[in-house]
């Protein structure tokens, strides 16, 4: 099967994820699951093998879009490991059931995580945020629902300024928001009680891979004595890092940093646009998940529990049809 046989919903989902029309690790995972369901429901495959081949092609197309957000392969892994049956209708049904269960689980995990994260926030606290994370926002939302009043310094987060989404969302929750340029973060850290960020991937050693600029913020926060809290559902845990793999850092279009006209005015310079960076565990105080709060160094125990020692991508490993 080649790419033109993919269901249009798969192609649309892949394009929306690649262009960041759909973004944030949780939303990416939910979109991938829904696209796999659309592919399964529309399939007119005549044999189980043909059906599996279609889903494999869809999974590959989705996976290639954003290499750093591990929620995407984890979503595919979740569905693939539950795709069972001797006939096409049985296989189709299993995909519908598992993708629906996956979406429900994502939502549940985020609200459970929010309740855990909210326990760290006291009435009158000020947080500092970076980028836009629905997991981090869930912590604030739960705290506000619990009657706590909060303030926030919101970093705009160059180059795509997703901090604007956070600023709007926090203001809607009733949080008192001050939007700042990224380089003002250290200036205001003395006034912050917590740095609260999300994650795109978490490695077995507790390193946090999140939007570019997170690591610098964490180092400054440590120097200022401000705790760094990472809100991340367990779908962000990167199982392949248990066996020594590293997390690929996505590099995006240079025009996100500077447009063609401005670049021509600058002259002959290189432009780099890495989307994420790695914050070593020593700069992170806690990783908040739906299974509770963990010091980064002990997240490996949770990973082993959830993924075991052996991990395969049933649809994606070489040699699988
Ligand atoms: P949630 C975002 O990346 C940010 O780095 C954010 O912290 C992370 O995804 C997690 O987002 P991007 O997709 O899953 O904007 O918590 O590049 O919503």
Domain CATH number, residue 29: 1.20.120.420
Q: Do residues 98 and 145 share a domain?
A: no
Q: Do residues 270 and 228 share a domain?
A: yes
Residue at which a domain ends, from 51, 81, 112:
112
Q: By alpha-carbon position, which residue is closest to atom 4 of ligand 1? A: 211
Looking at the domain assignment, is residue 313 inside a domain?
no
Q: How far is the CA of 11 from the centre of ligand 1 (A)?
A: 21
pLDDT at 320: 36
pLDDT tens, position by position, for the chain (321 residues)?
444 578 999 999 999 999 999 999 899 999 999 999 999 999 999 999 999 999 999 999 999 999 999 999 999 999 999 999 999 999 999 999 999 999 999 999 999 999 999 999 999 999 999 999 999 999 999 999 999 999 999 999 999 999 999 999 999 999 999 999 999 999 999 999 999 999 999 999 999 999 999 999 999 999 999 999 999 999 999 999 998 899 999 999 999 999 999 999 999 999 999 999 999 999 999 999 999 999 999 999 999 999 886 666 655 554 333
Rounded to an integer, what distance in angstroms lies between the CA atom of residue 206 and that of residue 320? 31
Q: How far is the CA of 24 from the centre of ligand 1 (A)?
A: 3
| Pocket residue to mutate for ligand 1, from 23, 109, 127, most atoms within 8 A of Cβ | 23
Residue at which a domain ends, from 112, 131, 156:
112
Residue at which a domain ends, from 91, 112, 133:
112
Query: Which of ligand 1's atoms lies nearest the C-alpha of 23?
Result: 13
Phi, psi at 82, each rounded to 5°: -115, 10
Q: Do residues 62 and 29 share a domain?
A: yes
Token pair, residue 118, equals 């909210």
Q: Do residues 107 and 199 share a domain?
A: no
Ligand 1 pocket list (CB less than 6 A): 23-26, 131, 133-135, 162, 197-200, 210-211, 275
Q: Do residues 122 and 147 share a domain?
A: yes
> Is 131 an active-site residue?
yes
Looking at the domain assignment, is residue 34 inside a domain?
yes
Q: Do residues 127 and 211 share a domain?
A: yes
Q: Is 153 helix (H, G, I), strand (E, B) or coil?
A: strand
> Is 200 an active-site residue?
yes
Residue in 135, 200, 285, 313 annotated catalytic: 200
Looking at the domain assignment, is residue 178 inside a domain?
yes
Domain count, the chain: 2
Q: Are 237 and 305 in contact (CB under 8 A)?
A: no
Burial 238-265 (b: 16+ CB within 10 A, else e): bbbbbeeeebebbebeeeeebeeeeeee
Q: Which of 93, 66, 72, 73 is nearest to 82 (CA)?
A: 93
Q: Are 51 and 88 in contact (CB under 8 A)?
A: yes
Looking at the domain assignment, is residue 79 inside a domain?
yes
Strand order from edge to edge, sheet including 194-197: 176-180, 151-155, 126-129, 194-197, 228-231, 286-289, 292-294
| Pocket residue to mutate for ligand 1, from 113, 133, 134, 289, most atoms within 8 A of Cβ | 133
Spatial CB neighbours of 280, under 8 Å, sequence gap ≥ 6: 207, 215
pLDDT at 307: 86
Q: Are 135 and 26 in contact (CB under 8 A)?
A: yes
Phi, psi at 66, each rounded to 5°: -135, 110
Looking at the domain assignment, is residue 319 inside a domain?
no
Looking at the domain assignment, is residue 316 inside a domain?
no
Q: Which structural domain, as residue segments, surrounds residue 250?
A: 116-307
Q: Do residues 120 and 174 share a domain?
A: yes
Residue in 131, 135, 285, 313 annotated catalytic: 131
Q: Do residues 52 and 94 share a domain?
A: yes
């Amino acid at each position: 099967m080649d790419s033109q046989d993919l269901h249009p919903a798969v192609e649309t989902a892949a394009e929306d994820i690649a262009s960041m029309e759909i973004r944030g690790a949780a939303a990416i995972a939910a979109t991938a699951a829904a696209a796999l369901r659309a592919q399964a429901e529309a399939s007119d495959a005549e044999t189980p093998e043909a059906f599996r081949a279609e889903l494999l092609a869809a999974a590959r197309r989705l996976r290639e879009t954003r290499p750093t957000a591990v929620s995407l392969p984890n979503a595919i892994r979740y569905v693939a490991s539950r795709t069972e049956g001797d006939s096409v209708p049985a296989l189709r049904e299993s995909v519908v059931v598992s993708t629906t269960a996956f979406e429900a689980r994502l939502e549940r995990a985020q609200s459970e995580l929010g309740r855990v994260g909210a326990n760290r926030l006291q009435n009158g606290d000020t947080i500092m945020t970076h980028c836009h994370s629905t997991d981090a926002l869930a912590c604030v939302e739960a705290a506000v629902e619990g009657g706590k009043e909060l303030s926030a310094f919101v970093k705009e987060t160059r180059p795509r300024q997703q901090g604007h989404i956070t600023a709007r969302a926090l203001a809607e929750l009733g949080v008192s928001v001050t939007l700042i340029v990224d380089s003002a973060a250290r200036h205001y850290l003395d006034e912050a009680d917590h740095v609260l960020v999300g994650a795109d991937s978490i490695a077995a050693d507790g390193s946090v891979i999140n939007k570019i600029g997170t690591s610098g913020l964490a180092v400054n926060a440590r120097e200022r004595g401000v705790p760094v809290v990472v809100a991340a559902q367990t779908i962000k845990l990167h199982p392949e890092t248990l066996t020594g793999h590293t997390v690929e850092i996505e590099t995006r279009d240079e025009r996100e940093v500077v447009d063609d006209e401005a670049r021509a005015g600058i002259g002959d310079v290189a432009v780099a646009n890495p989307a994420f960076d790695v914050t070593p565990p020593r700069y992170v105080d806690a990783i908040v998940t739906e299974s509770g709060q963990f010091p980064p160094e002990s997240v490996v125990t949770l990973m082993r529990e959830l993924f075991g020692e052996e991990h395969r991508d049933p649809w994606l490993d070489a040699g699988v049809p």
